[in-house]
């Protein structure tokens, strides 16, 4: 059986078509947004947004609202709050850690009052891309368009503020607004990524590919492009591996993300030694 025949056979199933579409959308968005998250040194804040979103998703169920809207709503609210801290957020890791622990605790409390949601909660924590349906894909696509449009709108001042914050402030760039807007964009990207790899493994798509790209190339735009390509490749290859091994998709994607980073780190070290 050739590789082409194998892939064609896999795509005969509707659930695999849906999984590839959803994973592709979330991966590209995560790779693009995640690059700037890593560049700005705010990866912990991005991880915290996922944990906070868990409380929003479980709380939404108690209110008879779709979990994804609770996830989006609370992560966006948290993104605004974190963004308001501006550059001070780098010194608030302890406070953020306490808040995300509280958020997980609230999520468990909400589950206590709605135990029927336990299966969906597990999917939120660890991901279940194979259960994605067409309506979820449409929602992800809409969020992706909104996320990327927002990123494009603040792209120039975001790059300036990320690379030279002092000079940007002197030139009148509204750093506080950029910080808030960017973390709102990150919140949307986290909400999408969580649908694929789960809240606990958001780093797999949001941080792994961008960090790998920054190890391999030094150019900004080449790094952004490579980050998106790596995220897409890891998401799709993870789906293929999971299909033929029956391993969890999130595990496969997270493993590929980690391997990519370690290999890139080895290549970067070899280059430095060669100099």
Average pLDDT value over all residues in the chain: 85
Whether the CB-CB separation of 114 and 62 falls below 8 Å is answered with: yes
The three-state secondary structure class of 172 is coil
**Do 75 and 56 form a contact (C-beta atoms < 8 A)?**
yes
Q: Which domain holds residue 246?
A: 3-274
Average pLDDT over residues 46-70: 81
Residues present in the chain in total: 275
| pTM exceeding the 0.85 threshold for the entire prediction | yes
Distance CA(55)–CA(60), nearest Å, equals 8
Q: Over the stretch 223-257, which tens digit does the pLDDT of each residue have? A: 999 999 999 999 999 999 999 898 999 899 999 99
What is d(CA 260, CA 229) in angstroms, rounded to the nearest whole number?
Answer: 12
If you write DSSP's letter for every residue of 140-183 in order, what string do you get? HHHHHHHHHHHHHHTHHHHHHHHH-HHHHHHTT--HHHHHHHHH
Q: Assign 89 a pLDDT band (cuts: 50, 70, 90).
A: low
Which pLDDT band holds residue 129 (cuts at 50, 70, 90)?
confident
Q: How many domains does the chain have?
A: 1
Q: pLDDT: is 102 or 140 the higher one?
A: 140
pLDDT in tens, 2-22: 556 666 778 888 999 999 999
CATH number of the domain residue 73 falls in: 1.10.3470.10
User: CA-to-CA distance for 221 and 152, rounded, in angstroms?
Assistant: 13
CA distance 130 to 17: 9
């Amino acid at each position: 059986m050739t590789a082409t025949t194998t892939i064609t056979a896999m795509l005969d199933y509707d659930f695999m078509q849906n999984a590839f579409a959803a994973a592709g959308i979330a991966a590209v968005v995560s790779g693009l947004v995640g690059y700037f998250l890593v560049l700005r040194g705010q990866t912990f804040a991005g991880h915290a947004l996922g944990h906070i979103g868990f409380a929003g998703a479980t709380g939404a169920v108690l209110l008879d609202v779709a979990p994804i809207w609770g996830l989006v709503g609370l992560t966006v609210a948290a993104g605004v709050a974190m963004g308001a801290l501006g550059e001070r957020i780098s010194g608030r890791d302890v406070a953020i850690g306490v808040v995300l622990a509280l958020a997980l605790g609230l999520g468990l409390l909400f589950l206590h009052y709605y135990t029927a949601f336990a299966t969906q909660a597990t999917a939120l924590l660890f991901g279940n891309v194979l259960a994605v349906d067409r309506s979820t894909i449409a929602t992800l696509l809409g969020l992706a368009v909104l996320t990327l449009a927002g990123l494009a709108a603040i792209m120039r001042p975001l790059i300036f503020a990320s690379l030279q914050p002092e000079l940007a402030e002197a030139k009148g760039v509204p750093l506080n607004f950029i910080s808030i807007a960017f973390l709102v964009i990150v919140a949307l990207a986290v909400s999408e990524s969580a649908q694929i790899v789960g809240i606990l493994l958001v780093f797999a798509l949001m941080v792994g590919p961008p960090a790998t790209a920054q190890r391999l190339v030094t150019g900004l735009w080449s790094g952004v492009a490579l980050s998106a390509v790596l995220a897409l490749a890891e998401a799709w290859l993870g789906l293929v591996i999971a299909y033929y091994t029956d391993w969890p998709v999130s595990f496969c994607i997270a493993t590929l993300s980690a391997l990519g980073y370690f290999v890139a780190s080895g290549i970067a070290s070899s280059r430095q030694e060669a100099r």
